[in-house]
Amino acid sequence: MKIRKRENMTRELQEKLESYQRVWAEVDLDAIWENMVHMKENIAENTKILAVIKTDGYGHGGVPIAKMLEQLDFMFGYAAATYEEAHVLREEGVKKPILILGYTFPYCYEELIREEIRPAVYRRDTVEELATAASKVGKKAKVHIKVDTGMGRIGITPDEEGLEFVRFLMEHPELEVEGIFTHFAKSDETDKTSANHQLELFQDFIKKIQTELGLTIPVKHCSNSAAILEMPQANMDMVRAGITTYGLYPSEEVSKDIVPLRAAMSLYSHIVYCKTIHAGQSVSYGGLFTAQKDTRVATIPVGYGDGYPRSLSGKGYVLIRGKKAPILGRVCMDQFMVDISEIPGVMEGDKVTLLGVDGTERITAEELGELSGRFNYEFVCDLGKRIPRVYRQHGEITEVRDYFENF
């Protein structure tokens, strides 16, 4: 993958954008910055933020976002899902702490320690193997203990068995316990009973660690995006900003009035073909759409091969010249068709908005998620590497990431 940075390259970047006729995504870095600032305004003064940039920043591009957010003093660091994601950030010069939220496999322990990447720990064999790797490297491994208070996924239990694990961990001086965390399962619901119960279990367990084991853990964290918005009692030392980083809300049940967020991503294409079909003619695989009258049809060169959901077939729409154009028939791997009968003057080469704003109309990830039977997280995460990402800040293109330049 070739990366272009803004070093007297404004004209080159603009020319690059103009070459993206088939499809491209634009990421508004100003929106992400503002989202972070607004979230910080809603949490305690001494509480830090961990930006969750797994899955390549939820499809937005983890590296450019991490590099920009390095400048914010209230940023503790970043969260990844795998060592490979964390390693890429280090390779690109990201300096702040990186936490791996899931399981980390032993093959990378030595490199992980050298790069000061923090793994989550909750298995005894992980502790032992990390200790061995740390001895070889000659450097302590910083770790965060994962506690399962109700998610039912990974983590030690907040009981005597969990205390025994922490005691076992403390017997390995090669490891430094920097943090402890849990994850809410239902904080994005209106009823916070479950989330508050998890919080209580977590707080009680931390107290037991302190009183019974004499261990004070510096960084305690449990809040995800929904809890940042609606659970100030769960701020603790740090919060983890996931989907809200990118201007999307975690569910329709959380309030959108507490923290103003601005969606960072837009998705565009161009019309490659226009035609008129007549009554009785069908469109796309299976002939799911059959015209009842003369219908103007435009072909868009994007499909599920790009991560655009096939489940939007016959349900979704795009924006052309500021108006809605419904999808006709099935979305193909690389193309789909829309009805342009009610949009005057449409021609080949016209810009198409698949996600974002055109005039007074807007298509949101939430809407596309609902129409496709998915949700907003899934839509943005699934947008593939055939789609170049164009980054804008302060009104200018600052970087382009084209995954096919070295293909």
* Residue 106: both structure tokens together: 């032993």
Distance of CA 375 to the CA centre of its chain: 12
* Residue 74: both structure tokens together: 């209230």
CA 340, 293, 331, 363 torsion-angle sign: positive
Number of residues assigned to the chain: 407
Residue of 95, 256, 285, 351 marked active site: 285
Q: Are the CB atoms for 306 and 342 separated by under 8 Å? A: no
Q: What proportions of the chain, in percent to the nearest 5, are helix, strand and coil?
A: 35, 25, 40
Active site residue 285: yes
Query: What amino acid is encoded at 380 in this protein?
Result: V
CA 261, 265, 270, 276 torsion-angle sign: negative
Active site residue 273: no
Residue of 40, 48, 54, 186 marked active site: 54
What distance in Å separates the CA atoms of residue 357 and residue 312, rounded to the nearest whole number?
19
Long-range CB contacts (< 8 A, 24+ apart) of 215-218?
215/166, 215/170, 215/177, 217/145, 217/177, 217/178, 217/179, 217/180, 218/178, 218/179
* Residue 50: both structure tokens together: 């961990």
What distance in Å separates the CA atoms of residue 238 and residue 48, rounded to the nearest whole number?
5
Query: What amino acid is encoded at 205 in this protein?
Result: F
- Dihedrals φ, ψ of 225, to 5°? -55, -45
183 three-class SS: coil
Q: Are the CB atoms for 249 and 188 separated by under 8 Å? A: no
* Residue 348: both structure tokens together: 């080949």
What distance in Å separates the CA atoms of residue 259 and residue 291, rounded to the nearest whole number?
45
What distance in Å separates the CA atoms of residue 245 and residue 237, rounded to the nearest whole number?
18
Query: Among 269, 306, 300, which residue's Cα sits nearest to residue 380?
Result: 306
Catalytic residues: 54, 285
